[in-house]
Structure 1
Amino acid sequence: MTLAYLTTPLLGIVDTAVVGQFGDAPLLGGLAAGSLVFDVVFTTFNFLRSGTTGLVAQAFGGGDALEEQAVLWRAVLIAVVAGVILAALAPLFAVAGQWFMGAEPRVSAAMSVYIRIRLLAAPFSLINYAILGYVLGRGEGGLGLMLQAVLNGINIVLCFLLGLELGWGVAGVAWATVTGEFLA
C-alpha cells in the first residue's frame, strides 16, 4: 500500500505540471490554494478508511462475514451522505477558502473553480475511502494497490487530456479528478 500512497503526490506534481504549461502564476496559485482547502476538508474523513479497516479486520478475524458487509455498507452510507452534503456546500467552501486565503482576485477565481468542481467528486472520493478500508481490513493490500493505481492512472491521463489537450486548465485538472474518482 505504500506504493499506492506514493502515487498520490504524483497527482499533485502532474496537476502542477499541466497548469504550469499555461505560464500563468495565478492559475498555479489557485490550484495550490484549492488543493489545500480540499485536503483540509477531506482529512476529516480519514476515519472512513482507518475506522473501516479496523472494524472489518475484527469481523474478518472472527469469521463474521455478515458483520464485514455491515461495516462496509455503514461506511458507504456515511460516505454518500457526507459526500452529497460536501458537494452541495462546494460554493460555500470556495467562498470560505477565498476569505481564509485572502489571495488576489485571479488566484481566488482559479481556486474557486477548482474547489467547486473538485468537490463534486466528494461522494465518490469518500466511497473510495470506505472501499479501501474494507479491502485493507480483509488483508487484500494487493487489491487496494490496484484500486489506487487505477484511480491515479485515470486521473493522470485525463489531467493531460482535459487540462492540456483541450486547454481547460485548472477546470480540466479538477474534472480529471472527478472523473477518475467516479470511474475507479
Structure 2
Amino acid sequence: MAFLTSSDKALWHLALPMIFSNITVPLLGLVDTAVIGHLDSPVYLGGVAVGATATSFLFMLLLFLRMSTTGLTAQAYGAKNPQALARALVQPLLLALGAGALIALLRTPIIDLALHIVGGSEAVLEQARRFLEIRWLSAPASLANLVLLGWLLGVQYARAPVILLVVGNILNIVLDVWLVMGLHMNVQGAALATVIAEYATLLIGLLMVRKILNYAEFPAKC
C-alpha cells in the first residue's frame, strides 16, 4: 500500500508552495538583520530588528489578500471562466495597491505610533525610524505580491511562490551586501535593498500572470 495516495500528493503539491509563500515577508527582514549584524554597532541591529518586526506585523494583517484571492481564483479556474479569473486578480490587486499606497503616504504617523508602542532606547528607535521610512515605500509592491501569489496558487502554478521567494531573496542579499557593506548606507541601505527586491518580485509575478492569461485554454499544469 502506497504511503501517499494521488490525492495526498496533489494536496502536498499545492500546500508546500503555500507554506513557502507565508515566509516571504519575515525572510526579507531576516536577511536585512543578518547583514546589519556585521556592522560595528548593535544600535543598527536593534533598529532593523524593530523595523522588521513592525513590518511583518503590519503586512501580515493584510494576509487575507492572498488567502481570499486563492479561493476566488480557484473557483474561477475550476469553472473555466476567464472573466471571473481576471476579476479575481484585478479587484484584490487594486485593493492591495490602494492600501499599500495609503501605508506609504501615511507611513510617518504610523511609524510614530509603532515605535511608541514598541519603546526602547532613543538610538535604536532612531535607526528603526530610518529603516521604516524607506522600507514602507515597498508597501504597494509587498501587498500586490500577496495577491499575485494567491492568484498564481489558485491557478495551480505551484512553482510560483518558490521562484518568487528565491529570486526576491537572492536579489535582496546581493543588494544588502552592496548597499550596506559596500556603500556604507547602514540601515537605509538594508531598507532600500528590500524595496528594490519587492518591486522586482512584483514585476516577475506580473510576467507570470501574463503567461497564464495568454493561454488560449486553461493549462492543465504549470
Q: Same fold (TM over 0.5)?
A: yes
Query: Match for 1:50 among 57, 67, 92?
Result: 67
Aligned partner (choices 80, 100, 116) of residue 63 of structure 1: 80
Aligned to 2:48: 31
Q: Any idea what the Cα deviations from partners look like across 1:77-102, whole Å, max 9, x if unmatched?
A: 00110000000111112211221122
Contact 2:21 2:149 (C-alpha < 8 Å) held by counterparts: no
* CA distance in structure 2 between the aligned counterparts of 1:88 and 1:45, rounded to whole angstroms: 17
1:15 aligned residue: 32
Distance in 2 of aligned mates of 1:67 and 1:131: 15
TM-score (norm 1): 0.93
String of CA shifts for 1:3-52, please: whole Å, max 9, x gaps: 56567655344322211111211111111111111111111110111110
* Segment drifting more, 11-20 vs 115-124: 11-20
The whole-number CA distance in structure 2 between the counterparts of 1:34 and 1:76 is 25
In percent, how many aligned pairs have the same letter? Answer: 35
Higher relative contact order (CA 8 A, sep 6+): 1
2:85, 2:99 → 1: CA distance?
A: 21
More helix by share: 1
Q: Which runs of 5+ in 2 are unaligned?
A: 1-16, 202-222
Partners of 2:20 and 2:161 within 8 A in 1:
no
Q: What TM-score comes out, normalization by structure 2 length?
A: 0.78
Larger radius of gyration: 2
Could you tell me how far apart the structure 2 residues matched to 1:143 and 1:98 are? Answer: 35
Give, as a single letter, the amino acid of the residue that structure 2 aligns with 1:38. T
Distance 2:109 2:131 in 1: 13
**SS of match in other structure, 2:159:** helix
Counterpart position of 2:156: 139
What does residue 127 of structure 1 align with?
Answer: 144
CA contact (8 A) 2:26 2:56 kept: no
What one-letter code is carried by the residue in structure 2 that aligns with 1:108? L
**Whole-Å separation in 2 of the counterparts to 1:79 and 1:143:** 19
Kindly report the root-mean-square deviation, in angstroms, between the aligned alpha carbons of the 2 structures. Answer: 1.6
Does 2:178 match 1:164? no
Residue 99 (str. 1) matches residue 122 (str. 2): no
